[in-house]
Structure 1
Amino acid sequence: MEYRLHSTLIAALAMAAGLAQADTGKLLLTGGVSSIGGSAGGGLTPWAVIGTNTTAGELGFSGYATRAATQDYSVNGYGVALGLHDRVELSLARQDFDASPALALNGIAPFGVAPGQHIKMDVVGIKLRVAGDAVLDADSFMPQIAVGLEHKRTHPGTIGSVLSFLGTKTSGTDVYVSATKLFLAQSLLVNGTLRYTNANQNGLLGFGSAAPGKSSRSLQPEFSVAYLISKNLAVGAEYRVKPNNLQALGAAAGFGAALREDDWKDIFIAWAPSKNVSLTLAYVDLGRIVPGITNNRRQTGYYLSAQVAF
Structure 2
Amino acid sequence: MPDLTEAVSEIADAMAREQRRGTVASYIPELAKVDLDQFGITVSTLDGDICCAGDADVPFSIQSVSKVFTLTLALGSIGDALWHRVGREPSGNSFNSIVQLEHEKGLPRNPFINAGALVVSDVVLAGHPPRVAIGSILRFIRWLADDEDIAIDETVARSEAATGFRNMALAAYMKSFGNLVHPVEMTLGVYVHQCAVAMTCRQLATAGHFLADGGGRSSTGHRVVSPERARRINALMLTCGHYDGSGDFAFRVGLPGKSGVGGGILAIVPGRASVAVWSPGLNQHGNSLLGTLALERLAKAMGWSVFGP
| TMscore range, shorter length | under 0.3
Please report the TM-score for the alignment, with normalisation by the length of structure 1: 0.27
Compare the two structures and name the one with the higher strand fraction: 1
Q: Which has the higher contact order (CA 8 A, sep 6+)?
A: 2
